[in-house]
Amino acid sequence: MFAFAHFTPLQPVSRRNAVLVALVAVGAAMGVRYALDPLLGSEFPCVILYPAVLVAAMLGGGLAGATALVLGAAAALFFLMQVHDLAPSSPATLTELALYLLGGGLSVAAATYLRGTAARLAVAQEKLVAALEASGAGTWRWNIRTDAVDWDPALVRLFGLAPAEAPRRRGDFRRHVHPEDQELISRSMTEAVETGNTADYEFRAIHPDGTVRWMYARSRVMRDSKGQPTLMIGACLDITERKRAQERQALLVQELNHRVKNTLSVVQSLALHTRRGSGDPETYHRTFEARLLALSATHNILTRELWESASLEDILDAEMIPFGGLDQNRVRASGEPVRLKPQQALCFGLALHELATNAAKYGALSVPHGRLDISWRAEPDEAGRTRLAVDWVERDGPPVEPPRRLGFGSRLIERSIRDELDGLLEMRFAPEGLRCFMSLPL
């Protein structure tokens, strides 16, 4: 069938070309018949026309075959009358013509059917090739009896090889497989041959330049009428990007697990110390909820940034929303763009929340005319490492007195900046307002 499709044009043929094909086929056949007339005589006048009708139908389709059939009948009658002076109505002539029309008609029908089937197969094959090319897959065939291996061009490209470098034997294939995966492939293929199951496996292919690519292969065994394995046919797909995505996902899950544990530890500590510093359940609930919301605000920023880093200004803006936000009248913020790592962002966000809470309760934000200035800058330390310096300056608020003892909020600020971030913290309770200086490594 595929040979038929290969040697026969399967595209639709115009009526003009179909008639032309019929004329050429019948003309050539009659020329041969005239040449063989001394040998054949008046017997078998239509014998050369059978292949002519079949060829016309194969090349030009049903119309060309039918036209050749009719033209052949007319040519045969003309040949008999002119060359051998036979009556066209004689029983012998009519029988010969009837057999010719019947046999030729069957030939036209068979050729038309084969032509249509071959055309459909060709379309299906084109779709299959297009699908394989779109998927990036390459196919191969291994003759189990001769050990010959045949790779299609797509598979050769997948392995980064030149056409002349494609494996010709099963053993040649091992040179292009990672040593740690060779045994897996051999075991999978042997098991498929012995059991008849489909072989599925993933392995690492090594390109000539040393590049390693992940491949997925799937193959099945073809058997003869006696059940003996003859061929193994398979397809191979490059899954390197999928493998990398899986590795990134695994790292992300691992990192997420680590961060969730850290966050739960922070929440547990917040709950414990907030309870110790609260005189009644209502105060505890209100204070603990505010701290959780502060932690959640930073979490939202980090999630939006895929937990890679967070903008200091975004963190400051989120933490100041419960206290009126950065309105540039009461609260002014200024500084260059700075990004913090996830752990820095969480700890710094909690410290900002505690400072803002104290300012709203006792400091500049507790009165309408109070002002708060927040500024930051990135500067080198004595060792040449970059540090973030933040100034928190309150003014025009109630007179400030140093606390007799530090509450949990102040201790949380100290722990966040000094202990968690290895930073520096200086808090001055000046009468005109709190001044807090924070410095941490970037």
pLDDT digits (tens, 9 = 90+) for 264-306: 777 776 677 667 666 677 777 777 788 888 888 888 898 888 8
Identify the CA nearest to 314 among candidates 343, 365, 348, 291.
348
* Cα-based distances in Å from 389 to 221, 226, 357, 386, 410: 70, 83, 21, 10, 19
At residue 95, what are phi and psi to the nearest 5 degrees? -65, -45
Tens digit of each residue's pLDDT (9 = 90 or more) over 71-105: 888 887 777 666 666 666 677 677 777 887 888 88
Which pLDDT belongs to residue 94?
A: 76
CATH superfamily of 136-238: PAS domain (3.30.450.20)
Q: Report the sign of the C-alpha dihedral through residues 226, 228, 231, 235, in that order.
A: positive
Q: How many residues does the chain have?
A: 442
Contact 196, 217 (CB under 8 A): no
What is the predicted pLDDT for the residue at 1? 45
CA dihedral for 308, 314, 315, 319, sign (positive or negative)? negative
Q: Between 381 and 169, where is the model more confident?
A: 169
**Looking at domain 244-441, which CATH architecture does it have?**
2-Layer Sandwich (3.30)
Rounded distance, CA 441 to CA 120, Å?
71
Q: Can you read off the two tokens belonging to residue 401?
A: 């007195």
In this predicted structure, the answer to whether residue 123 has a pLDDT above a threshold of 80 is: no
Total-model pTM:
0.52
Reply yes or no on whether the pLDDT at 118 is more than 90. no
Strands (E), 176-228: 199-206, 212-223
Classified as helix, coil or strand, 293 is helix
Residue type, 438: M
Could you tell me if 351 and 417 are in contact, meaning their C-beta atoms sit under 8 angstroms apart? yes
What sign does the CA torsion over 49, 55, 59, 63 have? positive
Instruction: State phi, psi for 88 to the nearest 5 degrees.
Output: -65, -15
Domain boundaries, the chain: 2-134, 136-238, 244-441
Cα–Cα distance measured from residue 18 to residue 58, given in angstroms and rounded to the nearest whole number: 11
Q: Is the model's pLDDT at 188 over the cut of 70?
A: yes
Q: Report whether 140 contacts 236 (CB < 8 A).
A: yes
pLDDT in tens, 307-351: 888 999 999 999 888 888 887 678 999 999 999 998 899 889 989
d(CA 59, CA 61): 6
pLDDT at position 103 is 81
> What's the pLDDT tens digit per position in 10-69?
566 788 888 888 888 888 888 887 777 777 766 667 777 888 888 888 888 888 888 888
Residue 386 tokens, joined: 């970059």
